[in-house]
Amino acid sequence: MRISSTSFLCVCILGLLLMAAGCTQSKPDSNASTPGSPEPNYTSNETLAAFVESAVDYAKANGKEKALAEFSDPNGSFVRGELYIYAYDFNNVALAHPFDPDKIGVNRMDELDAFGNPYTRQFIDAAENGSGFVRFYYVNPAHNRTVESKLGYVMKVDEDWWLGSGIYTGPAEQVTENSQTQS
């Protein structure tokens, strides 16, 4: 039996394509990790803001009671990798938190970040203006409880309450409210 050179060439090309397909598999989705996973994640500011906006849309479509139950569920649809939703009223009383239910019902108005800055008041200021980002410094339980810089994004649901989420952005250098410069 004689194999033509065209057939042989086709078999070789097919073999090379099959080998190349096995070498170009994509990595698993890095956003699919769970809180506390050792793998580094990167969540953009746009993704963070879109996540909070989707939660506000959910709250408006489904009502406050159903939304707060969903936001407080550690297995709910608003826990995605490092992102989760927390809810507060404008007196800064926690209404929902999926990983720290002991905070629910607690007024956190005078709480300070790891460097003594009154970050919770900044959340309210941003939410009262509709939405905004807030930089603060917080202990990261996923990194041996080291203090890290965290970027929060908050958005008003209505005149009574607001939602937020945040991402750790790396090691923190001590910064206090008095040493920050306006840009």
DSSP state of 93: B
The Cα-based distances of 139 to 97, 128, 147 in angstroms read: 16, 26, 4
Cα 171-152-98 angle, rounded to 5 deg: 100
Distance CA 93, CA 110 (A): 11
C-alpha radius of gyration, the chain, whole number: 23
Distance CA 115, CA 2 (A): 80
pLDDT of res. 11: 52
Q: Contact, 84 vs 165, CB < 8 A? A: yes
Strands (E) across the chain are located at 79-80, 83-84, 86-89, 94-96, 131-140, 146-156, 161-171
Distance CA 177, CA 114 (A): 12
**Given a cut of 60, is residue 55 above it in pLDDT?**
yes
pLDDT > 70 in the chain, percent: 72
**Given a cut of 50, is residue 20 above it in pLDDT?**
no
**Given a cut of 50, is residue 183 above it in pLDDT?**
no
Domain residue limits, the chain: 42-173
Average pLDDT over residues 57-81: 97
CA distance from start to end of the chain: 79
Higher-pLDDT residue of 57 and 17 is 57
pLDDT mean across residues, the chain: 81
CATH number for the region 42-173 comes to 3.30.450.20
Binned at pLDDT 50, 70 and 90, residue 141 comes out as confident
Binned at pLDDT 50, 70 and 90, residue 32 comes out as very low
Q: Structure tokens of 14?
A: 């097919």
pLDDT in tens, 154-173: 999 999 999 999 999 998 87
Look up the pTM and report it: 0.72
Binned at pLDDT 50, 70 and 90, residue 3 comes out as low
